[in-house]
Amino acid sequence: MTELSSSLQQTKGLCVETIAMSHPSSPPPTGLAAKGAPSRAASTTAAAPPPDDLPEPSTTQELHLAAQRGDLETLYRLLDHPTDRTVTASDPDDQGITALHWAAINSHILFAKALLERGAEPDVRGGELDATPLMWAARQGHLAVVHLLIKYGADPTLVDSQQFNALHLAVHSSSAFLVAYLLNTLQPLAVDSQDPEGHTALAWACYQGDAISVELLLRAGADVLKTDHAGLTPLHWAVTKGNATCIRRVVQAGADLVARTNEGKTAREMAAELKSLPAYERGLQEAGLDPRDGRKEDLPFGDRPSAAIFVVAFVAFGAMFETFALLAWYTSLILVGAEAFAMHHVVSRVILGVRPASGKKHSHGHGHSHSHGHSHGHGSERVTKSGYLCAIIAASLAWVFYVWLSRFVLQLSGYSVTSLAFALLFLLCAYNFFRAITLDPGTIRGPVGGSEELKEVVEELVERGEFNGINFCLTCMVRRPLRSKHSFATDRCVAKFDQLSRLLFLFYCPWVWNDVGANNHRQFLLFVASLVGGVLLFARLTWAYFYEKAPDLAPDAYCPALVPALICTATKYDPFAYAVAFWACLQLTWTGILLGAQLWQVARQMTTLEVSNVGRYGYMGGKPASVGASSQFGAAVAAAMTPAGTATPDPASLAHAPKPADKDGKFAYLLKLLGLDRFTSRGKAISGLAHATRGDVVNPFDLGIRTNCVDFWTRGSELGVEYERLYEIPAGGFRRAMTDRRKSVSSVSAAAAAAAGTPGSAAAAAVKDSPASGLVGLLAGMKRKMRGYERVPLSEV
């Protein structure tokens, strides 16, 4: 492990240098010189004004101290009305460091812009690392400053004395949005450039466990096979960190599992020595490989086992119902439980290839026991994201239909209307169940990665101070509309994402095997409503069937004292039909709650995600802390960028923030499946419902029950929006926008009527010259000052 030890020592040294370039008020570690920043004495001086007994600082020193503090008044006094005519914006100290360096590292963007406007050189070098202001800003992850410097001509391809360019330093800062900005706006970019030890930006990202940057670099074409001078590939560096998500991504990108270092160590052998073998094996399994030998998992039904899952579920449920019919209830319950376990075992272990959990907990990056990416394809999550739970619903519907047809239609008379109503509800339920599964939920589609169009989107968001996790998804590389959410189960952003009571495990509904969003929410609601109504009618027919067909119990027949006689009669007369009816009625426990919550939310123009956010944070679209910070910083950047700039991304607002580890075990998992966990203290839905009902939080989309319902069933037509492209709320709210739209339609109609007798060209001119022509006028009105509902308290909208 000599090569690895040497590389780690050098890495440690570079990390120390990175720390040393922190905020000037933070001195370097004891006994270590700060490379790339002034000496400890200079840093201390920057942190506080000099004592009175020290000599008065020179004009240049005074300017540098002002840059460290962001003191614009001093800058204006020294540069605009100087007493010393020799001072300039680019004057360096004895280490070559300028005021622009200090403004850049401290993210004083207004100060930096003022210096650049007064002639400061953007590519001036200074410090022991011979670095430019852009390098200082990139090392700290200050995206706004980097963008400002590039606008004023700074060269991001330059390297410091360690051969680190802006991309290397952005990766060191773990600022994924800065990495994304550089990769998508500075093409062509040397994504595989190496430092003196041969480390690429991808190797650094893997070593740091920065799974988001790894994904961005791989998407930009980073070479996953490139080795450093010690023979280590990015996979080796991901193993040193023990990050399963980074391992999975580089493996999926084509990493060589048998590549050896200069000492002859493979990634697996290195993982065993570094005690990160569980993370390595989990990463392979999440990538669809056998964790033991790295070969592709040989599943009996390949990568598409859905048909087999549906067949297994249908046969297993039939066997369980028949077991209950053939054996005494106290015997059949045990055997039915065994059959249910066997069904789950066949689906999870045989068909899906899920392996037993090792029980070892290990890191997955970012300091969390559960990594970014939410452990794709592992354990219960792989089962949830398969069609297994959807197959259970489908099998249940099939056996209910069989009992209705074979018992109630053929044997029960006098209930034709009820039976017909059930048939209609069953067809409605089955149809909308199928539609909810197959419809696109409202996927947000953006420009192709690396295209000029994507570059324009990124630069526009940076200029507006909105290039952050609230407004942009780094996984999908698309601008996120309001009310949208990234689904980790299907790896896409969905418009008007409902989340459905956290029944959407990983923001996804396993019962319909799909996300639920703007395009299929209506079908899902109709499915649930018709399911509840159908079960109630089925229960009514079942009661009539046993009441009229089942003979009375014999005088000597045994029936427990607490059990109604009709149940004893039913279980003796037709236990198969009774078992099916009992299973169907059991579904009312969660479907009834879900239906009530969904109807209330439709009436209030809210999604379950927004209700949950209200309960947690008091805001429909985000945490108030991140909202306030983003708004304040965005205002400062706007002033500096003219018209705007970029906001520092809040890790808590990222679309891919790590999911907290589930500490409640199997019971919490069951609550998620039944959709009841949101009513616990963790779900916060009850709190959100209470706040929304009392009107504590103003909902900008709520225009009354009638309008809300019409908008839901017309998919945004009532509000005049496309939820896939709804990025901002109109000034004055949607009620004013609707009023303006109706007025514009009326004016267009009046103009057309007035021009009815004129030639066609004159009529067209009259319509064109009207104050607002249809939707064009509305969209033009919406281009005025907008407000995003995540970024301000809703009470201010």
pLDDT for res 554: 79
How many CB atoms within 10 Å of residue 133?
31
Q: Are 222 and 201 in contact (CB under 8 A)?
A: yes
CA 37, CA 97: separation in Å to the nearest integer?
Answer: 8
Residues with Cβ within 8 Å of 338's Cβ and at least 6 positions away in sequence, in order, are none
CA 398, CA 38: separation in Å to the nearest integer?
Answer: 75
* Fold type of domain 2-190: 1.25.40
Q: Which residue has the tokens 């926008």?
A: 737
Give the burial string for 521-549 (b: 16+ CB within 10 Å, else e): bbbbbbbbbbbbbbbbbbeebbebbbeee
Long-range contacts, 599-606 (Cβ 8 Å, 24+): 599/525, 600/689, 602/525, 602/708, 602/709, 602/712, 603/705, 603/708, 603/709, 604/692, 604/699, 604/702, 604/708, 605/699, 605/701, 605/702, 605/703, 605/708, 605/711, 605/712, 606/692, 606/699, 606/701, 606/702
On the CB side of 106, CA atoms within 13 Å amount to 25
pLDDT for res 123: 94
How many CB atoms within 10 Å of residue 76?
13
Q: Please give the C-alpha separations between residue 3 and each of 225, 232, 257, 274, 535, in angstroms, as whole numbers.
A: 17, 8, 18, 14, 67
pLDDT for res 694: 56
Long-range contacts, 721-724 (Cβ 8 Å, 24+): 723/442, 723/481, 723/483, 723/484, 723/495, 723/496, 723/517, 723/518, 724/442, 724/444, 724/445, 724/481, 724/495, 724/518
CA 393, CA 509: separation in Å to the nearest integer?
Answer: 12
How many CB atoms within 10 Å of residue 632?
11
Low-confidence residues in the chain, pLDDT < 50 = 1-2, 4-5, 8-51, 54, 359-377, 500-507, 623-633, 635, 642-664, 667, 669, 675, 679, 681-683, 758-797
pLDDT for res 686: 56
Phi/psi at 514 (5° precision): -165, 160
Three-state DSSP class for 268?
helix
Reference 591, options 542, 546, 636, 539; nearest CA is 539
* H or E element at residue 472: strand 472-473
CA 200, CA 171: separation in Å to the nearest integer?
Answer: 10
Alpha helices in 242-385 (DSSP H): 244-252, 267-273, 277-286, 306-326, 329-345, 379-385
| DSSP one-letter code for 289 | B
Three-state DSSP class for 215?
helix
Reference 309, options 340, 347, 339, 353; nearest CA is 347
What does DSSP say about strands 485-487 and 492-494: parallel, antiparallel, or unpaired? antiparallel
- Tens digit of each residue's pLDDT (9 = 90 or more) over 141-167: 999 999 999 999 999 999 999 989 999
- Tokens matching residue 564: 């109604």
Q: Is 509 known to be catalytic?
A: yes
Residues with Cβ within 8 Å of 184's Cβ and at least 6 positions away in sequence, in order, are 449, 450, 454, 455, 458, 477
DSSP 511-529: TTTB---TTTHHHHHHHHH
Catalytic residue among 246, 429, 473, 509: 509
- Tokens matching residue 47: 């942190």
Three-state DSSP class for 485?
strand
Q: Is the dihedral of CA 719, 723, 729, 730 positive or negative?
A: negative
Q: Which residue has the tokens 């999870």?
A: 348
CA angle 169, 173, 179 (to 5 degrees): 70
pLDDT for res 787: 35
Phi/psi at 296 (5° precision): -65, 135
pTM of the complete model: 0.76
Amino acid at 663: K
- Tokens matching residue 156: 């991001």
CA 103, CA 95: separation in Å to the nearest integer?
Answer: 16
CA 318, CA 401: separation in Å to the nearest integer?
Answer: 13
Phi/psi at 479 (5° precision): -75, 130
Give the burial string for 265-300 (b: 16+ CB within 10 Å, else e): bbbbbbbeebebbbbbbbbbbbbbbebeebeebeee
On the CB side of 330, CA atoms within 13 Å amount to 1
Amino acid at 80: D
On the CB side of 530, CA atoms within 13 Å amount to 20
Angle between helices 588-603 and 608-617 (to 10 degrees): 80
Residues with Cβ within 8 Å of 411's Cβ and at least 6 positions away in sequence, in order, are 545, 549
CA angle 408, 414, 417 (to 5 degrees): 80
pLDDT for res 785: 34
Reference 112, options 83, 152, 80; nearest CA is 152
CA 95, CA 46: separation in Å to the nearest integer?
Answer: 15
What does DSSP say about strands 478-479 and 472-473: parallel, antiparallel, or unpaired? antiparallel
Mean pLDDT of the chain: 77
CA 362, CA 707: separation in Å to the nearest integer?
Answer: 50
CA 118, CA 126: separation in Å to the nearest integer?
Answer: 19
How many CB atoms within 10 Å of residue 20?
21
CA 490, CA 508: separation in Å to the nearest integer?
Answer: 8
- Tokens matching residue 787: 């407000």
**H/E/C letters for each residue in 408-461?**
HHHHCCCCHHHHHHHHHHHHHHHHHHHHHHHCCCCECCCCCCCCHHHHHHHHHH
